[in-house]
A = this chain, B = another copy of it.
Amino acid sequence: MTQHSTPDYHFSAYAGQLPASPANRILDMAAEPGLISLAAGNPAPEAYPVEEIRRIAGEILDREPMAALPYSVPQGDPGLRAAVLDFLAGKFTPADGDGCIIVTGAQQGADLTARVLLDPGDTVLCEAPTFLGVMDAFRATGARLRGIPMAEDGIDLAALEAALREEKRVRLLYTIPNFQNPTGITLPAEKREALCRLAERYDFVILEDDPYGDLRFSGEALPPVKAFDREGRVLYMGSFSKILAPGVRTGYLVGAKPVIDRLTTLKSACDVHSNSLGQLICKRFLEEVDLGAHLERLRSIYRARCGQMLRALEREFDPRVRWTRPEGGLFLWCTLPEEDAMPFVERAAAEGVLVVPGAGFLPEPDAVSPSFRLNFSTPTGGEMERGIAILGRLTKEPAAR
């Protein structure tokens, strides 16, 4: 049978109106050869501990294949959960009532959290701009996203409290406190504490997404939002994507047991459990590798790459363009003098340089943004120089804007 008469499928309300992100077209282009992509979110090619992963994977399949091959438990490998809690001990002390669940990358952590906490019509507050993938997970529940503007030091607390007074069904606040995606901004400690107090007063849960926290290459480490949690209202989410490899699709959530239990039940209906070999690689990596040295190596990589990008921006960009100076992570955020960066982004793509337009990181489907995101982790040094030179020329050409 080679012909379909293709019926009109009855898609769900969600699938019938899938949002078309303005960023998707640009991200889809990133696969085309010959383009300079400053739009990615992968670790630096030299950051992957390939030798260690190869050795560890070999040892697992040599010595304990039956730990990697059969079904495992939805909550995640108990050894990995213990290793994660040890790893986190330097950042915060989990409460007695806290549990941990392993997820198929932080993206699944957001999806599970959304489905356990949100009904259609509930409200999720997020930083505006924020990570676009997580917004898709929230939208899939039928919840409403409301963005809270970012100040230069992270989410605007006055705007947040105004929104909390206005909204009746805020169930969740999503925040990336360290080197936020896309802005690179870090939230100061006192604002982290303030978020917890607001969560208590207005009765919501905070999903703290911290994929980049270990990639701080300047300034002092800050306690996570979770460290200020008195009532079990913060779900702390971490990932191996940026410190090991995104391809292992392994992340974790730490939070109050009643929430973790429901996440676990839902996870068993979503994918039974995450890939076992990936989990065991992460476990042994935490247990066996000199993490201090590994993370210091990553920090020097990103310190050098970010420094190179900042120098290129200063040299090449029109002085009216502004950009953030992140203390860690993979991204920085450029803001043009005009209202809408989309024509600039399109022109850059036509000249072979891909950046992600700011509108893609805003919750409103028809949003307009003067900004775009630059990634300094993935391009080679040469690509970065050539890409910023082209962008810089465009910032000085009124026609491009």
Contact = CB atoms under 8 A, between A and B. Distances in A.
A292 interface: no
The number of times this chain is found in the oligomer is: 2
A66 B42 CA distance: 11
Contacts of A4: 95-97, 230-232, 256
A1 B136 contact: no
A270 B122 CA distance: 19
Contact of A270 (B18, B205, B270): B270
B115 A14 contact: yes
A262 interface: yes
Interface stretch (A56-64, A311-319, A324-332, A389-397): A56-64
A83 interface: no
A57 B69 CA distance: 13
Contact of A104 (B53, B58, B140, B275): B275
Contacts of A87: none
Interface string A249-275: 100000010110010011011111111
A231 B5 contact: yes
A351 B136 CA distance: 49
B272 A275 contact: no
A93 B5 CA distance: 16
Interface in A209-266: 227, 229-233, 241, 245-249, 256, 258-259, 262, 265-266
Interface in A77-125: 93, 95-97, 103-105, 107-108, 111, 115-119, 122
A249 B268 contact: no
Given A1-B93, A18-B265, A271-B271, A54 B50 contact: no
5 contacts: A3-B96, A11-B262, A107-B271, A247-B275, A249-B271
Given A1-B229, A2-B95, A50-B65, 13 more contacts: A1-B227, A18-B266, A40-B71, A45-B66, A104-B270, A107-B272, A133-B272, A136-B269, A140-B266, A248-B277, A249-B273, A277-B278, A278-B278
